Structure 1
Amino acid sequence: MAKTLRILTWNINSVRLRQGLLKDVVDKLAPDVVCLQETKCPDDLFPLDLPKVLGMDHVLFRGMKGYNGVAVFSKTPMRRHEDTQDWVGKEDCRHLAVELDLPGGPLVIHNFYVPAGGDIPDTELNPKFAHKLDFVAAARDHFAKTPKLTRAVLVGDLNIAPLEHDVWSHKQLLKIVSHTPVETALLTEWQDTCWHDGLRHFVPADQKLYTWWSYRAKDWEAANKGRRLDHVWVTHDLKGALTRHEILKEARGWTQASDHVPVLVELAL
């Protein structure tokens, strides 16, 4: 009988601030693996009691003070994978790769937090945007070296909504960072190296799909001006293993919510 593996990804926007919300998410969605981004927590202050609270015995993390940071919790033993990278020469804790030993063989999960890129989509005027494009191009080039990669999953806040219906208005957001043509082209090239879109596997490309709603909206739910910034990709050998997905939209309305919502994908391995 196939074993199911439930992988959750969430930009938590501070792991210490939202420990209670994380427990609520885990209780509601029952994941086997939790990948967090923007933990905003240096390693020496990471809440080491949290794995027990979540019912997960294993945790790996890379963090720094005040911003960025990634973490992975797992019910299954795991180890840091050698393919964990510091991209474009910056040690800014934006990537953690882990390897799980599963009945069908090892599975590697890449947890990414891609730079947001600031507000101005111009590399000369905005160094943050240049950094973002360099980061995505470097990731694309890295995975292009392994086009036949198997038994791998890539998740995280990739900070780009690549498709027309990944944003509330394609035309109005073409000059807005996260949906500019240069960004969407780069992300598509990265995905095309060896990955299959695990969310669009379930939701056709002509349907709206969001995972993020801005804090700036007075009533985020009524305005519904969302974007799909959070992604789950699987290698092509795992396409047939995808069994279900869930986007916990209600979490955006919780007290002290992150502006991103948890995303879950289930695989039958």
Structure 2
Amino acid sequence: MTSLRIVTWNINSVRLRLPLLADLVRDMAPDVICLQETKCPDEFFPHDGTEALGFPYRAMRGMKGYNGVAVLSRVPFTVRHDDPNWCGKGDCRHLGVDLDVPGGLELHDFYVPAGGDIPDREVNPKFAHKLDFIAEATAWNRGRGPTRRSVLVGDLNIAPLEHDVWSHRQMMKIVSHTPVEVEALTGWQQAGEWRDAIRHMLPEPQKVYTWWSYRAKDWAAADKGRRLDHVWVSDDLVGKLSGHQIHKPARGWTQASDHVPVLVELKL
């Protein structure tokens, strides 16, 4: 039986926070790291630094200053080049790979648009883009049929459940927890018959957060978090889930991202 440890992390600039990747590897011992918001054109990706951490297999889709996703792996993989160009924008928000593990494993790394501040698609183009992106992802999953031997991770920028936010009542009109976003994300999940791996292991009503705003003077004392970072698995992998970690101490690292790494372990 093979153990596979997958971490997802919105790093908020891979070059700026490259030293923190060493802390992540030390603390979490991942086999695969899926990054979002790398903010780095492919030609400037820090290959030497990530190679030194023990990840010889790497793929990335990046652009200057915004967005960007990357997969770092200790195990070989093949990049899935035929996955869609979401909303026709070419804005580096998705990377799919096929991992070379027993039985094979399809892995998708997503960075969903944040959606701006106003939860109204008519007056806020960023919110419209977010909903359109999820609608396209939902149609893509529905067209592919039920997922098998698959994992989807990333910063999906929506906290769907009541206990995924610090205050369900106060967050209902705040982008990331509005009913229209929750409905959209739930539809995507159902279209692929995905299972929420973290909530499988940490069911409600446990409060679970992966993001704390930079705006709080003392993020830990306020603890006004949201669960924006997700791991979904296909139904046939639910029984393979053997562990998880939400690395909250990472929010207190020097020059920390506002997101923390999230890990799941599978016994394949």
TM-score by length of 2: 0.98
Task: Give a deviation string over 1:15-35, Cα, whole Å, max 9, x none.
Answer: 000000011101110000000
Aligned to 1:237: 236
Residue correspondences, number: 267
Task: Give a deviation string over 1:71-112, Cα, whole Å, max 9, x none.
Answer: 000001111014432111110000000111112x22110000
In structure 1, distance between residues paired with 2:83 and 2:30: 23
- One-letter amino acid of the counterpart of residue 150, structure 1: R
Determine helix, strand or coil for the equivalent of 2:128. Answer: helix
Task: Give a deviation string over 1:136-186, Cα, whole Å, max 9, x none.
Answer: 111011101233220010000000000000000001010000000000000
Determine helix, strand or coil for the equivalent of 1:133. Answer: helix
Matched, 1:98 2:71: no
Residues 56-67 of structure 1 aligned to structure 2 (within 5 Å): 56-67=55-66
- One-letter amino acid of the counterpart of residue 187, structure 2: E
Determine helix, strand or coil for the equivalent of 1:111. Answer: strand
In structure 2, distance between residues paired with 1:154 and 1:94: 13
Aligned to 1:256: 255
Task: Give a deviation string over 1:216-268, Cα, whole Å, max 9, x none.
Answer: 00000000000000000000000000001000000001110000000000000
Aligned to 1:5: 4
Q: Which of 174, 185, 188 is the aligned partner of 1:187?
A: 185
Residues 73-88 of structure 1 aligned to structure 2 (within 5 Å): 73-88=72-87
Q: Shift in Å at residue 14 of structure 1?
A: 0.1
Q: Which of 162, 173, 178 is the aligned partner of 1:164?
A: 162
Residues 3-82 of structure 1 aligned to structure 2 (within 5 Å): 3-82=2-81
Aligned to 2:107: 109
Aligned to 2:203: 204
In structure 2, distance between residues paired with 1:233 and 1:197: 5
- One-letter amino acid of the counterpart of residue 133, structure 2: F
- One-letter amino acid of the counterpart of residue 61, structure 1: M
In structure 1, distance between residues paired with 2:46 and 2:149: 30
- One-letter amino acid of the counterpart of residue 6, structure 1: R
Aligned to 2:149: 151
Deviates more, 1:81-90 or 1:131-140: 81-90
Q: For structure 1, which runs of at least 5 residues remain unmatched after alignment?
A: none
Contact 1:155 1:233 (C-alpha < 8 Å) held by counterparts: yes
In structure 2, distance between residues paired with 1:216 and 1:122: 23
% identical equivalent positions:
66
- One-letter amino acid of the counterpart of residue 233, structure 1: W
Contact 1:55 1:75 (C-alpha < 8 Å) held by counterparts: yes
Aligned to 1:217: 216
Aligned to 2:246: 247
